[in-house]
Amino acid sequence: MTGALDLFINNPAVILTVGALMCLAIPRHLASPILLIATAISAVKLYTLGLGNYGAVSLFGETLTTVRLDPLSRIFAVVFHIAAALNIIYAWGQRDRAQNFATLAYPAAALGGVLAGDMITLFFWWEMAAITSVFLVWAPGTRVTYLSGMRYLSIQILSGVLLLGGIVLTFRETGTLDFNFIGLRDDNGAIKFSALVMFLAFGIKSAFPLLHNWVQDAYPKSTITGAIILSIFTTKLAVYSLARAFPGTIELVYIGAVMTIFPIFFALIENDLRKVLTYSINNQVGFMVVAIGFGAINGAAGYAFGNIIFEGLLFMALGAAMYRTGTSKATELGGLYKTMPLTMGLCIVGALSISAFPGTLGFVTKGLIIDAAGEAHMFWIWLTLLFASAGVLEHAGIKIPYFTFFAHDSGKRPKEAPIGMMIAMGASAAMCLGLGFFPEPLYALMPDQAAIAGYHPYSAYHIVEQLQLLLWAVLAFAVLILLKWYPAEVPSTNLDTDWFWRIPGRELLGWVTGASRATWIALWGIFSGRVQALMERIYAVHGPEGQMARSWPIGFMALWTAILLGLVLFLSFLA
Amino acid sequence: MSSDHHNHHDEGWADKKAFRNAFLGVLIIASIAAAIAGFIPAFQKEHPHFAVEGWGVFFAVWGFAAFMFIVLAGQHLRKLVGRKEGYYEERE
């Protein structure tokens, strides 16, 4: 009993889950305070636990470690708590029970995943994250969001199935369920099939190239608060999993580099600014994946921490504009700075931070990744990351604030964001600048303390090279605007990889379903015809008019009895 | 969703020509200063990983060129993948 109690009270993820479940039972107006209190209790528990393993459970002779708090899981757990608290404050007063539940149950699942010390516990929370998050996609309650949620759920469950398969295969090979370094290749350099399956599972949730489009399909269709929450947890849980299991996997460098590049171009032509930010998620996770490929775990974890704060801030600022105007489309926004100056200012802080201007959280974390490429002497990757940095400036640093608050005047004059939103955005902006100027508390959380000890972000050359890159990129933007070469925003739908499963895939599914149905009807027709014929024959023999239903004469029965007795006598004689 | 729509587009501080010129002026001066700083030995990397890091203005040139390329080349992607709004909704 004590063991079971320990299992629950020592797991911050369980505390958050209990808080989320309470929202389903208590009056709606108490939901936000309860969610915040649960987050605070969970954070205190995380702090008091200290590094170590907790919540050991025996299952089929194997010991599962439901909570492992080490430097890598700690930094993710800390930022997940910060993000959960900010989201609750941002959505303060939200009455929708399903959304309130998911607001904490989903971060709880992601937190449970990063704290999992074994693969079974990871799988459990992995699936919980998929199931709880889909409520946020469905929250608007339209047919479009229903279909999007179903697609999202299918892909997330596919990732879970692959993870389970990978776990089984890995367990068969290694004999352990512990979730530690796996590595993609064996000692001979050959790719391990078991590892490849897990790699793919993590790749789907990290939104690897060609597997990325579930993010754009689902996240922008959610509610204002739902999109913010969704933007944070799933991909970062996947980044954590890759950092745990596949650090130093060189393939990740190339995959990550592609991830940093292609979303830039889709973001450029996208009119829905929330969708622009989802492409930004792909791009940002790409930087983290590159870092993992180099084995630069500080870069991956630090940038994940930073990204959750500044990308969250951009989502929040855009969400505030959407809350007041009812749209997130660039063609319908613009000129909001006149009546939403505070939101605009906070948005610009997020934009500066994601662009990694000196003095921001982005600057003190992104440098770790660019430096890793330099130290690995991979010139083209290094150049690609610099190119992608200019791209980040374009779509997240300039496009989001410019088209929301400036650009052409939409004529809309909305009020400032509500107080809850302002507090959450203000706190995020304070962290962007505070940790940007004084990164020591963040660096103290870094998983590899030996590596971070010698890192000084504010070296003269680092500041100069970053300022050159960014200022000249802004100058390019100014030139393009002055020459009127910057493309106007156009209301449109831009096809991406989701086209394959939404159009031909859907038609193929329809054809397969139709063919299956026709085949089934044909087979059933043949089967039922045969059964019908058999039944008719049985009826003909055994029915009221059948031969077997006739009453037999006594003499006929006596004859048969004599034959049978004679047969028995003959057999006895033979025996 | 409270939003007040005004038909007249009153001029804000960011719309004023003086502000735009001042912003552009500061940007140009800061950009040139950053480029010049790249030639000052105290602002250069002691042990550069790549030769280009020693060129002084490499990051300025790369930042400008990358941004230009992304916008000027990237906008043509719209011709390939752009469809009218509601493309999927009409088919689902």
Per-residue pLDDT reduced to its tens digit, B28-62: 999 999 999 999 999 988 889 999 998 989 999 99
Cβ contact B6–A264 (<8 Å): no
| Token reading at A9 | 């009270």
Cβ contact B31–A471 (<8 Å): yes
A487 vs B9, B65, B75: nearest CB: B75
**Which chain A residues are within 8 Å of B14, Cβ to Cβ?**
337, 406
**Which chain B residues are within 8 Å of A383, Cβ to Cβ?**
62
Q: Which residue has the higher pLDDT, A93 or A246?
A: A246
Place B2 in a pLDDT band, splitting at 50, 70 and 90.
very low
Mutate which: B50, B61, B88, B92, vs A, most A CBs within 10 A: B88
B67 vs A390, A461, A491: nearest CB: A390
Task: Count up the domains in chain A and report the number.
Answer: 1
**Which chain B residues are within 8 Å of A336, Cβ to Cβ?**
none
B45 CA: distance to closest CA in chain A (Å)? 6
DSSP letter at A486?
S
Mutate which: A142, A371, A415, A461, vs B, most B CBs within 10 A: A461
A302 CA: distance to closest CA in chain B (Å)? 23
Q: At residue A401, does pLDDT exceed 90? A: yes
Cβ contact A472–B87 (<8 Å): no
Q: How many CB pairs under 8 A join A and B?
A: 193
- Over pLDDT 90: what percentage of chain A? 87
| Token reading at A282 | 């792909």
Q: In this predicted structure, what is the pLDDT of residue B3?
A: 45
Phi, psi of A109 (to 5 degrees): -65, -45
Cβ contact B67–A374 (<8 Å): no
Q: At residue A364, does pLDDT exceed 90? A: yes
Structural domain boundaries, residue B49: 13-91
Report in angstroms the alpha-carbon separations of A104 from A32, A50, A389.
10, 23, 33
Chain A contact for B42 (CB, 8 A cutoff): yes
Cα torsion for A365, A369, A374, A378, to the nearest 10°?
A: -170
A196 CA: distance to closest CA in chain B (Å)? 32
Structural domain boundaries, residue A550: 504-574
* Alpha-carbon span A82 to A72, nearest angstrom: 16
**Which chain A residues are within 8 Å of B17, Cβ to Cβ?**
none
How many other β-carbons are positioned within 10 Å of the β-carbon of residue B52?
A: 14
* Alpha-carbon span A382 to A385, nearest angstrom: 5
Cβ contact A269–B38 (<8 Å): no
Average pLDDT over residues A528-551: 82
- Which residues have a Cβ under 8 Å from the Cβ of A399 and sit 6 or more positions away? A267, A268, A273, A276, A330
The answer to whether position B50 is within a domain reads yes
| Token reading at A69 | 């708090």
Minimal-distance CA residue of chain A relative to B59: A469
Closest of B14, B21, B66 to residue A404, by C-alpha: B14
Chain A contact for B70 (CB, 8 A cutoff): yes
Strand residues in A122-221 grouped as ranges (E): none
Average pLDDT over residues A292-302: 97
Q: What is the ipTM of this complex?
A: 0.92
Chain A contact for B60 (CB, 8 A cutoff): yes
Average pLDDT over residues A341-347: 98
B4 vs A379, A414, A465: nearest CB: A414
Chain A contact for B47 (CB, 8 A cutoff): no
Place B9 in a pLDDT band, splitting at 50, 70 and 90.
low
Closest of A423, A425, A238 to residue A316, by C-alpha: A425
The answer to whether position B64 is within a domain reads yes
Chain A contact for B39 (CB, 8 A cutoff): no
Cβ contact A485–B71 (<8 Å): yes
Mutate which: A468, A474, A500, A509, vs B, most B CBs within 10 A: A468
Chain A contact for B51 (CB, 8 A cutoff): no
Minimal-distance CA residue of chain B relative to A319: B1
The answer to whether position B43 is within a domain reads yes
Average pLDDT over residues A407-416: 94
Q: In this predicted structure, what is the pLDDT of residue A2?
A: 54
**Which chain A residues are within 8 Å of B75, Cβ to Cβ?**
268-269, 487
DSSP string for B35-87? HHHTTSGGGS-SS-SSGGGGSSSHHHHHHHHHHHHHHHHHTTHHHHHEE-TTH
**Which chain A residues are within 8 Å of B87, Cβ to Cβ?**
493, 495
Q: At residue B10, does pLDDT exceed 90? A: no
Q: Are strands B82-83 and A493-494 parallel, antiparallel or unpaired?
A: antiparallel
* Alpha-carbon span B6 to A447, nearest angstrom: 53
Strand residues in chain B grouped as ranges (E): 82-83
Q: In this predicted structure, what is the pLDDT of residue B91?
A: 82
A459 CA: distance to closest CA in chain B (Å)? 8
B85 vs A323, A471, A491: nearest CB: A491
- Which residues have a Cβ under 8 Å from the Cβ of B14 and sit 6 or more positions away? A337, A406, B20
Helix and strand counts by DSSP (H, E) for chain B: 4, 1
Give the angle A337-A341-A343 at the CA atoms, nearest 5°: 100
How many other β-carbons are positioned within 10 Å of the β-carbon of residue A537?
A: 11
Cβ contact A269–B75 (<8 Å): yes
Sole residue written with tokens 């708590």: A81
Give the angle A506-A512-A518 at the CA atoms, nearest 5°: 135
Task: Count up the domains in chain B and report the number.
Answer: 1
A504 CA: distance to closest CA in chain B (Å)? 11
Minimal-distance CA residue of chain B relative to A407: B15
Q: Is the Cβ–Cβ distance between A109 and A13 less than 8 Å?
A: yes
Place B1 in a pLDDT band, splitting at 50, 70 and 90.
very low
Q: At residue A545, does pLDDT exceed 90? A: no
- Over pLDDT 70: what percentage of chain A? 99
Q: At residue A521, does pLDDT exceed 60? A: yes
| Token reading at A558 | 């006596």
Q: At residue A249, does pLDDT exceed 70? A: yes
B66 vs A147, A387, A506: nearest CB: A387
* Alpha-carbon span A147 to A44, nearest angstrom: 39
Amino acid letter for position A166: G
Cβ contact A268–B70 (<8 Å): yes
The answer to whether position A248 is within a domain reads no
* Alpha-carbon span A83 to A39, nearest angstrom: 10
Tell me the pLDDT tens digit for each residue of A189-247. 999 999 999 999 999 999 999 999 999 999 999 999 999 999 999 999 999 999 999 99
Q: In this predicted structure, what is the pLDDT of residue A546?
A: 77
The answer to whether position A539 is within a domain reads yes
**Which chain B residues are within 8 Å of A468, Cβ to Cβ?**
31, 34-35, 37-38, 57-60, 63
B29 CA: distance to closest CA in chain A (Å)? 10
Minimal-distance CA residue of chain A relative to B73: A265
Place A502 in a pLDDT band, splitting at 50, 70 and 90.
confident
Q: At residue A444, does pLDDT exceed 60? A: yes
A265 vs B45, B70, B84: nearest CB: B70
Q: Which residue has the higher pLDDT, A407 or A554?
A: A407
Chain A contact for B30 (CB, 8 A cutoff): yes
Q: In this predicted structure, what is the pLDDT of residue A3?
A: 64
The answer to whether position A496 is within a domain reads no
Q: Is the Cβ–Cβ distance between A325 and A403 less than 8 Å?
A: no
Cβ contact A461–B45 (<8 Å): yes
| Token reading at A138 | 């469905």
Q: At residue B5, does pLDDT exceed 60? A: no
Q: How many residues does chain B have?
A: 92
H-assigned helices in A175-223: 193-206, 214-218
Q: At residue A544, does pLDDT exceed 80? A: no
A370 CA: distance to closest CA in chain B (Å)? 11
B88 vs A406, A472, A493: nearest CB: A493
The answer to whether position A195 is within a domain reads no
The answer to whether position A523 is within a domain reads yes
Q: Is the Cβ–Cβ distance between A69 and A52 less than 8 Å?
A: yes
